[in-house]
Amino acid sequence: MRGFVLALLSAALFGAATPAGKILLTDFSPFQLAGLLYLGAAVGVAPGVLREGRVSRGLDRTNRLRLAGAVFFGGVVAPVLLLFALRFMQAGSVSLLLNLEMAATAVLGVALFGEHLGKRGWLGVAGVVAAGAVLSGRGGEPGLRAGLLVTGACLCWGFDNNLTALIDGISPVRTTWWKGVIAGTTNLVVALCVASTSWPASRVVIAVAVGAVCYGASIALYVTAAHDAGATRTQAVFAAAPFIGAVLSCLVLAETPERSWLFGVAVLVPSVALLIFDRHEHFHVHEAVAHVHSHRHDDGHHVHTHPGQPASTRHAHWHEHERIGHRHAHGSDLHHRHGR
């Protein structure tokens, strides 16, 4: 339940970013806005980084590569592609197309990252892809162009989601901070190099504030949820973000809902449900490992003790696991990365 609630809150914040981005694009280029939004994300989580102090022993080479991949795909490339798409299509339609991120995360998770997906999960992926094809195809050439851009963004975020869920050397807020600082700075440098553009101060402040809330807080919540429930299941709940974005686009931007939206919603909702309830159970072995991540002590995997602290208390610190084998229903969280 904790992972579900965190993912849903993350979705609400992220959903608001699409119509907000559509508005801010009147003053900024996609590179400018992507940079400002992700620097805002870093600003948004900075207090959490300061409060947290040092809870890790740093990243080993594998986790540094995971972080670099997450920053490049999810922070540098994906937001730029999404913002370019907003130039060709209504924010509501783009929002609904973002459900393709769920399908991309699931397929990449199974193909490359040791996640499991059953028959219900694959039906869910098929439904999301079908709905995305209809939503983009109804818009003619601009719609197809926007659809390809959003598909590219969703593939990048699919890589980001899976890589981020595997990072176990630093906490979620610190992961978000690094992503915001590096990706935001990179896109601002690109913006300065590719064109001579204006930087209206008041709009810069607004863009950074939007990034702090819609990206910073949302990403930190998402990463924490992914550690709890796995990238695929968290992404299934996070799929509420496109629907929230579509509703806000109608309310804030006065966009007129298209008939294809009804088909999209009718197909996407049960598809999301299929992914949410796709779970499995079998005997599996956890090898010995030492890492840091958010955890509690009543989950059957964290048996070390903290005198005076209830087992249900969630916290993060460096800890070691001994080799253990057992059987229980599970998803593809940080401790269950296997393909069976």
* Mean pLDDT of all residues in 129-139: 80
The DSSP bridge pattern shows strands 280-286 and 324-330 to be: antiparallel
* Mean pLDDT of all residues in 193-222: 88
Mean pLDDT, the chain, rounded, equals: 83
- Mean pLDDT: which of 29-33, 52-56, 138-142 is highest? 29-33
Q: What is the pTM of this model?
A: 0.79
Instruction: Tell which wins on pLDDT, 153 or 61.
Output: 153
The DSSP bridge pattern shows strands 289-295 and 280-286 to be: unpaired
In this prediction, residue 298 carries a pLDDT of: 64
In this prediction, residue 182 carries a pLDDT of: 97
Tell me how many degrees the CA angle 219-158-267 measures, rounded to the nearest 5.
Answer: 100
Neighbours of 323 (CB within 10 A): 9
- DSSP letter (8 states) at residue 308: T
Tokens of 253: 């931007």
Return the SS3 of 330.
Answer: strand
The 10s digit of each residue's pLDDT in 23-53 is 999 999 999 999 999 999 999 989 888 887 7
The 10s digit of each residue's pLDDT in 243-281 is 889 999 999 999 988 778 888 888 888 887 787 677 666
Percent of the chain at pLDDT > 70 equals 80
Q: Can you tell me the distance from the alpha carbon of 302 to that of 295, in angstroms, rounded to the nearest whole number?
A: 8
CA dihedral sign of residues 253, 186, 174, 48: negative
In this prediction, residue 74 carries a pLDDT of: 93
* Mean pLDDT of all residues in 155-184: 88
Is residue 340's pLDDT more than 50? no
Is residue 202's pLDDT more than 90? yes
Instruction: Tell which wins on pLDDT, 312 or 35.
Output: 35
In this prediction, residue 256 carries a pLDDT of: 86
Closest Cα partner for 27 from 194, 205, 200?
200
Instruction: Tell which wins on pLDDT, 320 or 13.
Output: 13
In this prediction, residue 335 carries a pLDDT of: 57
In this prediction, residue 164 carries a pLDDT of: 87
* Mean pLDDT of all residues in 57-75: 89
Tell me how many degrees the CA angle 30-36-42 measures, rounded to the nearest 5.
Answer: 135
List C-alpha distances in Å: 264 to 62, 244, 269: 39, 14, 8
**Distance spanning both ends of the chain, measured CA to CA:** 24
Domains of the chain, residue spans: 2-282, 284-330
In this prediction, residue 281 carries a pLDDT of: 67
Return the SS3 of 328.
Answer: strand
For 33, the enclosing helix (H) or strand (E) is helix 30-52
Tokens of 23: 């508005």
The 10s digit of each residue's pLDDT in 223-243 is 778 777 666 677 677 778 888
